[in-house]
Amino acid sequence: MSVREGTGGAGAAGGSATAAVQAAAGPSLEDIRAARDRIAGRVRHTPLLESETLGRELDARLYFKCENLQEGGAFKVRGATNAVFSLPPEALAAGVVTHSSGNHGAAVARAAQLRGVPAVVVMPHNSSAAKLELVRRYGATLELCEPSLAAREAAVARIVAHSGAAFVHPYDDVRVIAGQGTVALELLEDLREFDCVLCPVGGGGLASGLALALKALAPAVRIIAVEPAAADDAFRAFHAPGAPELPPAPTSMPPTLADGLRGMVSARTLGLLRRHVDDVVTVSEAGIVRAMRRLWSELHVIVEPSSAVPYAALLERRLNVAGQRVIIVLSGGNVDLDQLPWGPAPSPAAAPA
């Protein structure tokens, strides 16, 4: 089963990659509203925090949507819960299966636990220890594989063929995208008026669902998707001249600290990004580390590297937000505290005798 093909809802059309991008369908605004009702009581309405200190540095008002405080520690619980609770009982006779770098796997495991069905999660063997432990904590069966998309897909295909478990794709699924789009509904409830939203983009489920909902309800809002320069498939596909085509799949996982953004856009998510997102920009690895540390020290919240990527775009001046009300989506907080990217803090000086 290809990571590009996806499951759930309307599938990508056959033929060339260009035709697939043009034909792949996404959810509707009504689907996103239905997802909001379906997941109510099963996920958190996460807080929106303003930082006057960080805003003054950019001559803007900065608000942070804290999905790092979400159930399971990441926004992924929205899409996974919507997908699992959308499935009829007969489709869940053998449980569910997914592949993930971590957060989606934990979200599917949690949703399956809530629904009372088994889950199998395929993850690379070099995944974050914190994310591996979270999947185990939610009671899923964990299957480790080599760190490549091909290995993840092959393991899932084997499990589906053997057990008949329902596959919940990490992002290329209209039910997952609809669930992620519920972030936008909360933003409009909590702030009502704002000028710009920055969110991370990996496979594109969050960025496309968020953008679809916002452009339908607040079309003047500018939406910027941000990804690491070391994993820039969305950037390249978004800015490609002419008809969009999917970039070739890599043979190994991209070398970025932002492990949650190593997934590649699909025909469905790329089509939605091209229709609803205003721009895609990239940031450096050094910028990600700087942003991560700055958010910890000034906002006093724990964020993982993928979550720091949108704020890194502001620190690296990838866009001018002076005078604007800007929302930054902090996508997750499942970080391995034993593997901080800047190393251990220096020991305090010894007290005088």
Least Cα distance to 35 among 194, 165, 213 occurs for 213
| Alpha-carbon dihedral sign for residues 72, 104, 221, 224 | positive
Are residues 67 and 84 both part of a single domain? no
SS3 of residue 243 by DSSP? coil
Contact 36, 189 (CB under 8 A): no
Q: What share of the chain is helix, strand, coil (3-state, %, to 5)?
A: 45, 15, 40
Query: Does residue 194 belong to any structural domain of this protein?
Result: yes
Least Cα distance to 100 among 40, 212, 176 occurs for 176
CATH number at residue 155: 3.40.50.1100
SS3 of residue 90 by DSSP? helix
Are residues 34 and 106 both part of a single domain? no
Domain finish residue from 125, 143, 167:
167
Are residues 155 and 26 both part of a single domain? no
- What domain count does the chain have? 2
Query: Does residue 350 belong to any structural domain of this protein?
Result: no
| Helix 29-39 vs helix 76-86: crossing angle, to nearest 10 | 90
DSSP string, 323-352: T-EEEEEE-B----GGG-TT-PPPPPPPPP
SS3 of residue 228 by DSSP? strand
Q: What is the pLDDT of residue 343?
A: 58
Contacts for 199 with CB less than 8 Å, ≥ 6 apart: 206, 207, 210, 223, 224, 225, 226, 310, 328, 329, 331
**How far from chain centre, in Å, is Cα 161?**
27
Domain finish residue from 115, 149, 167:
167
Are residues 270 and 125 both part of a single domain? no
Are residues 100 and 67 both part of a single domain? no
Query: Does residue 146 belong to any structural domain of this protein?
Result: yes
Query: Does residue 47 belong to any structural domain of this protein?
Result: yes
Are residues 127 and 67 both part of a single domain? no
**Torsion from C-alpha of 26, 31, 33, 37, nearest 10 degrees:** -130
Are residues 150 and 230 both part of a single domain? no
Query: Does residue 225 belong to any structural domain of this protein?
Result: yes
Q: What is the pLDDT of residue 163?
A: 95
Radius of gyration of the chain (CA): 19
Beta strand 166-167 with 96-99 is parallel
Residue 51 belongs to domain spanning:
17-75+177-335
Are residues 195 and 258 both part of a single domain? yes
Domain finish residue from 144, 167, 190:
167
Q: What is the pLDDT of residue 246?
A: 75
* pLDDT tens-place values along the chain, 353 residues long: 233 334 443 333 334 555 555 556 889 999 999 999 999 999 999 999 999 999 999 999 999 999 999 999 999 999 999 999 999 999 999 999 999 988 999 999 999 999 999 999 999 998 888 889 999 999 999 999 998 888 999 999 999 999 999 999 999 999 999 999 999 999 999 998 999 999 999 999 999 999 999 999 999 999 999 999 999 999 999 998 876 677 666 666 678 888 878 888 999 999 999 999 999 999 999 999 999 999 999 999 889 999 999 999 999 999 999 999 999 999 999 877 766 676 554 444 443 33
Query: Does residue 200 belong to any structural domain of this protein?
Result: yes
Are residues 150 and 256 both part of a single domain? no
Are residues 119 and 219 both part of a single domain? no
Query: Does residue 7 belong to any structural domain of this protein?
Result: no
Contact 290, 312 (CB under 8 A): yes
Distance CA 106, CA 103 (A): 5
Q: Which residues pair with 64 in a beta bridge?
A: 49, 328
Distance CA 180, CA 211 (A): 10
Are residues 64 and 84 both part of a single domain? no
Contacts for 163 with CB less than 8 Å, ≥ 6 apart: 94, 95, 97, 120
Are residues 229 and 293 both part of a single domain? yes
Query: Does residue 3 belong to any structural domain of this protein?
Result: no
